[in-house]
Chains A and B, each alone.
Chain A
Amino acid sequence: MSDQRHGPVDPASAAGWTDNQPRKGFFTDTSICIGCKACEVACKEWNGVPEDGLNLLGSSYDNTGALGASTWRHVAFIEQPANTAVSSAGPVSLGMPSSVLPGAGSDGESRTDFRWLMSSDVCKHCTSAACLDVCPTGSLFRTEFGTVVVQEDICNGCGYCVPACPFGVIDRRIGEQGTKNVGIAQKCTLCYDRLGAGQTPACAQACPTESIQYGDLDELRDRAHGRVEQLHAAGVPQARLYLDDPADGIGGGGALFLLLDEPEVYGLPPDPVATTRDLPQMWKNAGMAALGLLAAAAAAFAGGRR
């Protein structure tokens, strides 16, 4: 595992691809998302992902809940008072309607202080992808586009990738026997099949507002920076990028996001780190512990000759 903190890495080359493509990814501009969920539906249609439960969650218009084995795109809906200042973490809010929010007065005057944020979440196709690193079968692999994909015929369902992902993206599919790929780890493939055919991923293709932009990651990163500047100039100081920094804990995302609030508001970790960054240290400690055990055992026998 390479320590991505030492500069940008092209993950496809690092994975041994020689004829690899420019790295592909997403830039999701949540400031123009209209929450239509076309991306969710397009993803399911194209990839044959099964229905994921008919449950009213009561979390605004989000009845999908979270990414998972049968949800590869998830649109989050957040109802909140507009924070015009660039905030740090706010008070405890579980996102439930509360009576202290603006607009709660007996007239509509303060309504303009209200915001409804929408954001379409997806696998980040991390530069340093913990899921891929920890997969014991090689089922998860790095494609020539720099993306991270599960090979469902190789996955053995060990589930190790699940707790490894710092974003809670990948999951093992549960369902009745006979459900497609039940027991197998599943997540966004960045439409590997479509990319191979030179096509745009289904979700990006379906997105009416171009909130989901697909393309060469380097170009998208530039575009993202430009968009933030544009929004700052337009009086939206809350606009910020997420996972655009190749020096961050996952070496930068293959999916970048423009957010209007702190990541945790959208259910995203504020400072994700690929767990494997600490793996050398872990092995070292484990080795020392193992040696210690050997020594302790030896001592146990040496200590008390009868």
Chain B
Amino acid sequence: MVPDAEFTSYYGRPVLKAAPWSTDIPAYLFLGGVAGGSSLLAAGADLTNRPSLRRVARLGALTGITLSFGALVHDLGKPSRFVNMLRVAKLTSPMSTGTWILTAYGPGAGLAGGAEIATLLGGTGLLPRWTRPLARLLDALARPAGIGAAVLGSAVASYTAVLLSDTATPSWHEAHRELPFVFVGSAASASGGLGLLGASLADSGPARRLAVTGALVELAAEHRMEQSLGLAAEPLREGVAGKFMRASKILTGCGALLALAARRSRLASAASGAALLAGSACTRFGIFEAGQASARDPKYTIVPQRERVEARRRADAAKLRP
């Protein structure tokens, strides 16, 4: 436990401004993770011929990215504001970089997902005849598009960590070393979970392995993060964020165990998949809320900074000593 910090502030008011973001943003983080991971699974399933996994992953990626895009646009207010971001490309702005990653990723994931829908609809015979050449074209493009999406998907899953870390928000910024791993872990477990939820038992092996690996990476990275965050870890344990994080750990841990244990049960696999998905969502909401809380309480800004200043002062004083 970090001892109660003594510090001075201005009427207890925050030094920093919390991000002016609502639940759209953690949802966006989660859905982006699901999409990115799913594109990886989809491409793998496509290449290794696991149609049910391919289908659910491609659809998952499409849905994930669409909803996530929707969340972003909802946060911005109107779609043109998204387009507005494409007027520049700035490596110093994770949001700009992310926008370009999304822009590059979106079509591939969309194409692959679209092909899957076309196939589904084609199977029902609902599509008019004239669309058939189109569907065939889609089908042909789906694999390269899917592979592209898979490569970019890993970026989609990880860049969001930088998006959060590249702020002055203490619990996000201080986590910048571990957060990408937490996020890709979370993406892997969520997308694996989705695979477990939707694919046949026969096809779901890679999803299971990805989910379990992801869960382990997430939990390990989270643990490390909490160790290295110092005072800024406190918000992860308290309040709403704490509830989310505890839920996340239980869901992810149990989900992973269940996934391992329930190799033969479709139902149990689905349940583990759902748990992992929920766990991943909780991680994103938890980390989001923890960051916001850390920005709102001046303690998390002032105490570590004050310690840095004091340490420097001591070091300077030591240098002066004969």
Contacts and interface: CB of A to CB of B under 8 A. Distances in A.
Q: In the complex, A touching B, CB below 8 Å?
A: yes
Interface of A: 1, 57, 59, 62, 65-66, 68, 76, 78, 88-96, 130, 133-138, 154, 156-160, 162-172, 183, 262, 264-273, 275-276, 278-279, 281-283, 285-294, 296-301, 303-304, 306
B152 to A, nearest CB: 9
Contact of A164 (B48, B151, B167): B167
Query: Size range of the interface on B?
Result: 35 or more
Given A158-B85, A279-B166, A171 B17 contact: yes
A295 B51 CA distance: 21
A171 B201 CA distance: 50
Interface in B155-197: 155, 157-159, 161-162, 165-169, 172-173, 176-177, 179-181, 183-184, 187-188, 192
Interface stretch (B114-122, B252-260, B300-308): B300-308
A90 B10 contact: no
Contact of A136 (B14, B93, B159, B209): B93
A112 to B, nearest CB: 22
Given A88-B313, A285-B179, 5 more contacts: A156-B76, A160-B95, A163-B169, A276-B92, A282-B180
Contacts of A300: 41, 44, 192, 205-207, 209-210, 213
Nearest to A93: B8
B228 interface: no
Which 7 pairs across A and B sit closest by C-beta, in order of nearness?
A267-B10, A289-B180, A156-B81, A136-B96, A163-B167, A136-B95, A271-B305
Contacts of B168: 130, 163-166, 168, 272-273, 275
Contacts of B305: 269-272
Given A165-B17, A289-B183, A138 B88 contact: yes
Contacts of A306: 202, 205
Nearest to A96: B11
Interface stretch (B18-26, B128-136, B239-247, B268-276): B18-26
B15 A269 contact: yes
B9 interface: yes
B144 interface: no
A269 B301 contact: yes
Contacts of A167: 15-16
A214 to B, nearest CB: 25
Contacts of A297: 37, 40-41, 44, 150, 154, 188, 206, 210
B180 A275 contact: no
Given A138-B90, A163-B17, A299 B213 contact: yes
A183 B77 contact: yes
B19 A162 contact: yes
Contacts of B173: 275, 278
Contacts of A266: 10
A286 B92 contact: no
Interface string B202-231: 100111011001100100000000000000
Contact of B76 (A158, A298, A304): A158
Contacts of B192: 300
Nearest to A68: B17
B319 interface: no
Contacts of B14: 66, 168
A163 B158 CA distance: 20
B17 A168 contact: yes
B321 interface: no
Contacts of A296: 188, 210, 213-214, 217
